[in-house]
Amino acid sequence: MTKSVLIHCQPSLLNFVKENNMDWEYSTDHDVNEIDVYVDDVEYKDGNHPDQNGIWEDPDIQLCEHYGIDYDQVNCIEAVY
C-alpha cells in the first residue's frame, strides 16, 4: 500500500507545484494562508545507505529534496493514508 504525505507549504511555492503537476489544494484549515501538496511517501535512506555516504538526514528534508520542494517554505508535514 502506498502511503501519502501532506506537505503544508507557503503560497510562494504555488508556481513550482503547478509546473510540476503536483496534487495540491488551498488550505482551508486554521485560517492560515498556505497550500497543501499531496505526494507519495518515499523510502527513507539513513546514513548507512550507500547513497548517503554516512550522512544522516532529517526524513522530512529528504522527502522534500526528492520532490524538489524548498524545505524552507514548508510549514508542516504529516502522513495521510
The pTM of the full predicted model, rounded to 2 decimals, is 0.85
| pLDDT at residue 1 is higher than 60 | no
If you count DSSP H runs as helices and E runs as strands, how many of each does the chain have, helices first? Answer: 2, 4
How many other C-beta atoms lie within 10 A of the C-beta of residue 70?
13
Supply the pLDDT for residue 62: 94
39 close to 7: Cβ distance less than 8 angstroms: yes
pLDDT at 59: 93
pLDDT at 70: 97
Q: Per residue in 17-74, pLDDT tens? A: 999 999 999 987 767 789 999 999 998 888 888 888 888 889 999 999 999 999 999 9
